[in-house]
Structures are given as C-alpha cells and as structure tokens.
Chain A
Amino acid sequence: DAGVIQSPRHEVTEMGQEVTLRCKPISGHDYLFWYRQTMMRGLELLIYFNNNVPIDDSGMPEDRFSAKMPNASFSTLKIQPSEPRDSAVYFCASSLEGSNTEAFFGQGTRLTVV
C-alpha cells in the first residue's frame, strides 16, 4: 500500500477563497483523522470518522470548516471562506479498528492564506 495520500502538498490561496484538502486513507482502515499543526497550538485533532461516519468534530474551529467522507477511500476538509489564521499544515491519518492500534499519517498539506 502507498500509505495515506494527501493532496495538494502545498496550497497558497487568497483570503476569502474556498480551499479543499483531500485525503486517501490506507485501504482497509476503519478510522480517519484530520489534524492541524501550528507553532502556537501544536497538533490539534479537528475531526475523526469511523466507517465514513463523523464521530467527533469538537475540534473543528468554526463553521467555516467542514469535513466529509463520502466513501471508505476518500475524505475532504473544506475551508470556506479561508482566513490568514487558517495557515497551517493539515494532516490526515488513518488506522484500523481498536484503540491499541497506531495511526498512519500522510505527508500533510501546507496551507498558506494571504
């Protein structure tokens, strides 16, 4: 398996524009996580899915953020409208069922909002 695949790797957009980040989890994994990493706040869990269903979205900053998982092999994180403070590295991770299993991370998407 190629691992967790995220696209794009880098995104530069203007304030107010819509941004969509994409993730393909490892085949067969039941859980998918979205994280945001910044210098100030570290690695924050935004939302996670189990079998394509959102389980906990308490980390989503505000209504401008939304995440979907239409099928087992694809998820999106959308920001609309984007703001400069959304600039961060966004990671997607996936894991098997079971809280004793580790999550596998993608390479991340570096988002810059100007």
Chain B
Amino acid sequence: AQSVTQLGSHVSVSEGALVLLRCNYSSSVPPYLFWYVQYPNQGLQLLLKYTSAATLVKGINGFEAEFKKSETSFHLTKPSAHMSDAAEYFCAVRPYGNNRLAFGKGNQVVVIP
C-alpha cells in the first residue's frame, strides 16, 4: 500500500525561525499528497494539497510545500514560525485512481519563544 514517511516525531523551532517538516512518499507513480494540521483536542484541518497542477503549493497560515518527484518528497515549510503554529502536522497520501487516504506518523511542533 502507498505510504508516507515523516521523520522526527517532535520538532522544536524558535519563534521567527524557519519551519521545515519532511515528508517522503513510496510510489513509482506520483500520488496526490496532503498536509493537515491538528490543534489540541480538535480534528484535522487541511493546510494544502498537491494535485499535479503545480509543484509549489501554497496553503493557509503562510505554509507552503514543494513536490519533488526525483526525491519522492513533499516537504512543508513556513519562513517564520509563530506561537500559534504549535500543533501536530500530518502528511497524507491518496494514490492516483485510488481513494484510500493514509497518513504519516505526524510531527509535533513546539515553538520556543
């Protein structure tokens, strides 16, 4: 089955510093890819998605992600972290022609003042 790998369960970043969360997928055929955010005691909310229209995807709250086929990656970035970015972030994959939606293990982001 298609899967995504997120390394480093906990990520600490200083306020104002770059946020970088890595996501790699396992597939020879590029799937559709998503980043979700989960705030405490809430459901998951879509940040952005890759659907092959453009390799650089901009999402909400200043986040963006770049799809790189050669690296089978879809890393999430934000130039300057804000305290409100403290949350858990999930990368998800939905294979082309298949509607199964599977998630990575997630990254818990802590923002240090």
Contacts and interface: CB of A to CB of B under 8 A. Distances in A.
The listed residue with most A CB atoms (<10 A of its CB), out of B42, B44, B98, B104, is B44
A42 B106 contact: yes
Contacts of A4: 43
A107 interface: yes
Contacts of A108: 42-43
B34 A102 contact: yes
A100 B101 contact: no
Contacts of A45: 100-103
Contacts of A91: 43-44
A19 B63 CA distance: 39
Interface residues of A, number: 25
Contact of A100 (B45, B94, B100): B94
A33 B103 contact: no
A53 to B, nearest CB: 12
A94 to B, nearest CB: 11
Interface in B25-43: 31-32, 34, 36, 42-43
Nearest to A30: B99
Interface of A: 4, 31, 33, 35, 42-43, 45, 48, 50, 55-56, 91, 93, 95, 97-100, 102-108
Interface of B: 31-32, 34, 36, 42-46, 49, 51-52, 90, 94-106
Kindly list the 6 A-B residue pairs having the minimum CB-CB distance in the complex, ordered from nearest. A105-B43, A100-B51, A43-B103, A42-B105, A105-B44, A99-B94
26 contacts: A4-B43, A42-B105, A43-B90, A45-B102, A45-B103, A50-B99, A56-B100, A91-B43, A91-B44, A93-B43, A95-B101, A97-B99, A99-B31, A99-B94, A99-B95, A99-B96, A99-B97, A100-B32, A100-B49, A100-B52, A100-B94, A105-B36, A105-B43, A105-B44, A107-B42, A108-B42
